[in-house]
Structure 1
Amino acid sequence: MKKIFISMLYSTLLLLGVVSINADDKISAYLVGEHIEVDVAKAKLGEVGFEVIALYSPVKEGTTLIFTNEVLKAEGAKSKRAHAAILRMFIDDKEKRVSVTNPIYFGRAFMQDWYKEDVFIEQFEKIYSAFPNLEGSKDSLEFDNLADFHFMMGMPYYEDPDELAEGEHKDLLAKARNYKKGKLLIFELKLSDKSTLFGYEIGSKTKKFVKKIGRANAAVLPYCISIEDGKATALAPKFYLAVSYPQLSLSEFTRISSVPGAIEKDLKKPFK
């Protein structure tokens, strides 16, 4: 029965353009469609069981909705998987488009060997039921390569995060919450007694990279900090930006060569 279901779903994904028809089995990083108002999007997400935990403006005339549910939080509570606990929807008021992070794509990239196909297919179905006109983006990667993705030789993998600080769990939480009186904190999502995910604002100059390499994927921000087992970490930007902009060329990456270091520097500040 499950094989039949997966086969039917795969056919649907093909029709939507979420995966390719060729043998490479590429899967879209985003689900894209026509513009919708923020309040309407928030309501529709709520109708299918998602909770919007934050609104954030990564660029002018654009808003990202950060959303989750109990199933995603349970996945994110697993060891070093906090980033899989949220999904993002970017509403572009300038270009009159929307872009939603594909849970199958990012689920595979962040969960790797922990990836449960039925869990993330279920999230895809919820999103599609709320927004049935969405289609797969041109940004895509081969599904089988997502679990061990890196941009190129010598570049970091998911398992190579930036280590921001070490210390007592409660002390790290307090620093993340209280730095600059909490003005840079976008959201806080507790996943377990030992794991919390924070959405964090990076410097205004640093975040301009979105304009340089494409506002269509502005859901890449806010950047996240994971505090787990006495460590504060963030996904290495050379991994996270590359997986979030899968069409990014080496020359385009070179244009933002200073950004990974700037992001790490910005995210370390609360813990000094």
Structure 2
Amino acid sequence: MKKLLLSGALAALLTSTLMAKDVSTYEYAAFKNSDAVKSALTTQGFKVVGEYNAMSNPNYHVIAYTNAAIQQEASKDDDNSFAAVQKVLVDKKDNTLVFTNPEYFMRAFIEDDYTDATAKSINSALATAFGKLTGSADALDEDDIKGYHFMMSMPYYEDMLEIAKGKNLLEKLKKNAGDNIVFEIKLKEGTLVGVAMPTKNGEKSYVSEIKGEKNTAFLPYMVFVENDEAKIMHPKYYLALSFPKLSMGQFMSISSTPGDIEEYFENLFK
């Protein structure tokens, strides 16, 4: 009997493993200019919340969007808040559109509260608006996205960095970040803000170092302000999640970047 039970458990495990699928980090679609992208998103019921030239380069224009269903998912718990926005890169250099795959990033940020319905409805609307979506080579097994970390001793999603505490944090951020604020989304638990980082050690520096321009749909970096606390995803987590094919050598080439990002955001609240 024990052998039968063991065999059954092993068979179930193997079946689960075989059924697990890779989920692409990004999705590509035929090129449209920025105005056409915004119009198509709006037609499908999405709200464009901000846009900017990633890395201060007009060839890489990122448009951030959301809708009520996305925000509802992100508001289930304050730790889900980074799921409140999706982004699309208008890549004028390679003449393509690069979307953050909602299934990938929502799995990562919503974790135990994740269900397929909202992510699949977003992808369906995107396919209607933009035609065929082709998954990127960057991908993770669906079972590995929740609880993802690059390797042993590296941070998980929940290992966020508290970068500021105190009163009037949102006001301080707006004053200090100024035109570098790309979007601001009010949620039930707080406010999610996307902020450009056009500094010497910012986006242009670390993205070009790992030749990650094609994946700049993950930008701008985000900060969540809730009551008297501001926090960001740990850069060692978010960069690895956004570039799952990143090698250890590439990761080491930007070893100073997590500290640079943390310092940049800390200064925005002083």
TM-score by length of 1: 0.87
Q: Return the alpha-carbon distance in structure 2 between the equivalents of residues 154 and 105 of structure 1.
A: 23
2:190 aligned partner: 195
The CA RMSD over aligned residues, in Å, is: 1.4
Match of 1:57 in 2: 53
Tell me what 2:171 maps to: 174
Q: Any idea what SS the aligned residue of 1:163 has?
A: strand
Q: CA deviation at 1:162?
A: 1.3
- In the alignment, the residues of structure 1 paired with residue 133 and residue 60 of structure 2 have an alpha-carbon distance, to the nearest angstrom, of 18
Task: Give matches, 1:1-272, under 5 Å.
Answer: 24-59=20-55, 60=57, 61-77=59-75, 78-168=77-167, 171-179=168-176, 182-192=178-188, 194-205=189-200, 206-207=202-203, 208-213=205-210, 214-272=212-270
Structure number with larger C-alpha Rg: 2
**Paired residues of 2:107 and 2:146 also in contact (CA < 8 A):** yes
* Divergent runs of 4+, >4 A: none
Q: Helix, strand or coil: the match of 1:164?
A: strand
Within 1, Cα distance between the matches of 2:196 and 2:60?
Answer: 15
Q: Is the 8 A contact 2:30 2:131 kept in 1?
A: no
Q: Partner letter of residue 90 of structure 2?
A: I
SS in 1 for 2:103: helix
> In the comparison of the two structures, how many residue pairs are matched?
247
Find the aligned partners of 1:178 and 1:229 in 2 and give their Cα distance. 17
Unaligned runs of at least 5 residues, structure 2: 1-17
TM-score (norm 2): 0.88
Work out the CA distance in 2 between the residues paired with 1:55 and 1:96.
18
Instruction: Measure how far apart 1:230 and its partner are.
Output: 2.3
Q: Is the 8 A contact 1:29 1:102 kept in 2?
A: yes
Residues 58-109 of structure 1: per-residue CA shift (max 9 Å, x gap): 1321100000001111222232211100000001111112110010110100
Q: Deviations over 1:166-191 (max 9, x none)?
A: 123xx1111111115x2221111111
Amino acid at match of 2:247: S
